[in-house]
Amino acid sequence: MKIHIKSGSEGVEVVGLEGELDFNSSPKIRLEFAGLVEKKPARILINLRKVNYLDSSGLATFIELFQKVKRYGGKLVLFNLADAVRNVFEIAKLDSIFHLAKTEREAYVLIET
């Protein structure tokens, strides 16, 4: 699993993930997310275009991030989800909690609302 974090304008952090987000990779991603949350960015966008697999450990990683961001009043949007990854969110009924956008442009629109 690779992670790329790019600071955007006006308090937006854009995170790109690549690979499988599973039991083996989720501890590394959690550490990266913890460092990101310490900065308390107002908005975090996560690009999942290159994530081809997500298990329950991966879901737990996103739930933990969501809770931390919500505590300080930030916004979190996930975008570019592959169908298989989107299905995991839908099966777990988390698509009603998370903001899931199809494109980066749509993600930016969601964080502004």
pLDDT in tens, 65-100: 999 999 999 999 999 999 999 999 999 999 999 999
Asked if the model's pLDDT at residue 6 lies above 80, the reply is yes
Is 99 within 8 Å of 89 (Cβ atoms)? no
pLDDT of 8? 74
pLDDT of 10? 77
- The highest-level CATH class for domain 2-112 is alpha beta
pTM attached to this predicted model: 0.93
Distance, in Å, from the CA atom of 112 to the CA atom of 40, rounded to the nearest integer, reads: 17
pLDDT tens for each residue of 23-52: 999 999 999 999 999 999 999 999 999 999
